[in-house]
A and B are shown apart, each in its own frame.
Chain A
Amino acid sequence: MRGWLRHHLAALARAAGQLLRHPLGSLLTALVIGIALALPAGGLLLLDNASRVVGDVGERPEISLFMAMPPDAAASAEIERRLGESDDVASFEYVPRERALAQLADAGLADVIDDLPDNPLPDAFVVTPADLAPDAFDAIAARFGEWPGVAHVQLDSAWVERIHALIELGRQTFWLLASLLASALVVVTFNTIRLQLMTQRAEIAVSRLLGATDQFIRRPFLWTGILQGLAGGLVAWLLLAAMVTALREPVAKLASSYGAVFALHQPSAAQIALLLLLAAGLGLTGAALSVDRHLRTTA
């Protein structure tokens, strides 16, 4: 165990030394990897923030229940009781037909209403469901439609479905982009390690003749891949932090114009850890593919 650790520490030191001996090349590689990682990571962060926006916006989706005509106070009271007892209802408001008519008059239709012989509007309830997912939304509306005295149920879910569809589209686009850029990152690391293998060909050949195993030869290159990935991950993190800082104020202004209070959040500690782990893993993969190919072809 101690020997294994010593081998890895020595390989890590050699890999770090190798990167530090070529600071410009190492920095450029880290920048390429960092930018490639920052794009999908930025997408993830924006999706995460967009999900919060949907939850935070004041205008929540609603379901309107219109009672049957002629008006029946007992039926309306029963619906009010049922809504009050429903766990899947976040809140509701009873809108008596008189208030609805007054609201229409306030909306500039007073002349039209004055000409009407009677109030044609039914009593109504405006319900905000607890679960805003489109499927749950539809199920609740269908249940309301079966209640006695309810003549019509109107869904106000179209925009919710659109936002969910947009987020889902964004998520799928992010994963596609992430897969493509992860492949690019593996290729970048593969090529960097390939060049290092070429420059250290003599050392590898000598080491083999002196009794080095493939594992001994492989280790420093694997650590180089991991360190390059980590450096790229750090660059990506810095880019994300800069992006959030730069966009925070414009986004807050945009949100306030819609009557919402919203601030872009920096990536969490868990998200940063995931980003670095992923970057190190991709660097390791590229390095492993490169060094294994070299060892196979020069065996």
Chain B
Amino acid sequence: MIAFDQVSLRYPGGAGGVHDVSFTLARGELAVLSGHSGAGKSSLLKLIAAIERPTAGRVSVGGQDVGKLPRQAVPYLRRNIGLVLQEIRLLLDRNVFDNVMLPLQITGHPPADASKRVHVALERVGLAGRGRDMPLSLSGGEQQRAAIARAVVNRPSILLADEPTAHLDAAYASDIAALFRSFHSAGVTVIVATHDSSLFDDAAPRRLVMDHGQLREAG
């Protein structure tokens, strides 16, 4: 499903990135990506979603060489990937329902079907009945749930999350981790970058440990 073959990513100036990373992830696996700040966790997720292109090596997603995808093909790759990245925040001028609806508008779903899907997604993340609320009226945990609903509403086969439990208290963090485990149980390939990998111990995940841009453990 996802394969890294001697992948390197160097940012201009040489800071951050990843170096000579190789691993494979099968369809439906749950992987927890851990490591210190600046270890390369976010870069690795961005390489999968073609937000960054590798400077060396090959990143393959579903058999496609992501690094060689033409620019016009990138959106179609991303439609199959649910993203809960730190920089993808909710749009503050739209209510929760419209935020979650956005990926379905992008893919051109018929409005009636899209509306049903949004309701199902919001119910799944525990935000049923909160669709009309504006993002700023939600708590941090609820905003993260809304972002997860937006990531999964298109029923992607891959779900990538970058520090989804950061800044949340223990109870909220546990709820969010449970959500990712439930998507994994439903057959979605899930990669979660987190400082607290113990949240996912129940699911016996694949552990990827990044250290200064290199993959130290892939067990």
Beta-carbon contacts under 8 Å, B73-105 to A: 75-79, 83, 85, 87-89, 91, 102-103, 105
Residues of A within 8 A of B154 (CB): 211
Known A-B contacts A6-B108, A6-B110, A7-B108; the reply to A210 vs B91 at CB < 8 A is no
Contact (Cβ within 8 A) A10 B105? yes
Having A10-B105, A202-B91, A208-B75, one finds 12 other A-B pairs with CB under 8 Å, namely: A6-B108, A6-B110, A6-B111, A203-B91, A206-B102, A207-B102, A209-B49, A211-B78, A211-B103, A211-B106, A212-B75, A216-B106
Give B41 Cβ to nearest chain A Cβ, in Å: 17
Complex CA gap A212/B107 in Å reads 8
Among residues of A, the one whose C-beta sits closest to the C-beta of B104 is A210
Contact (Cβ within 8 A) A211 B107? yes
Beta-carbon contacts under 8 Å, A162-206 to B: 202-203, 205-206
Contact (Cβ within 8 A) B83 A299? no
Among residues of B, the one whose C-beta sits closest to the C-beta of A4 is B108
Q: How many A-B residue pairs have CB under 8 A?
A: 49
Residues of A within 8 A of B105 (CB): 10
Question: Can you report 22 residue pairs joining A to B where beta carbons are below 8 Å apart?
Answer: A6-B111, A7-B108, A202-B89, A202-B91, A203-B91, A205-B87, A206-B89, A209-B51, A209-B85, A210-B83, A210-B88, A210-B102, A210-B150, A211-B77, A211-B78, A211-B79, A211-B103, A211-B106, A211-B154, A212-B106, A216-B106, A299-B71
Give the 5 A-B residue pairs with the shortest CB-CB distance, closest first: A211-B79, A211-B78, A3-B108, A211-B75, A212-B106
Total A residues in contact with B, Cβ cutoff 8 Å: 18
Interface residues of A (CB under 8 A from B): 3, 6-7, 10, 202-203, 205-214, 216, 299
Give B189 Cβ to nearest chain A Cβ, in Å: 17
Residues of A within 8 A of B139 (CB): none
Among residues of A, the one whose C-beta sits closest to the C-beta of B73 is A213
* Contact partner, A209, options B72, B88, B91, B107, Cβ 8 Å: B88
Give A5 Cβ to nearest chain B Cβ, in Å: 10
Among residues of B, the one whose C-beta sits closest to the C-beta of A213 is B75
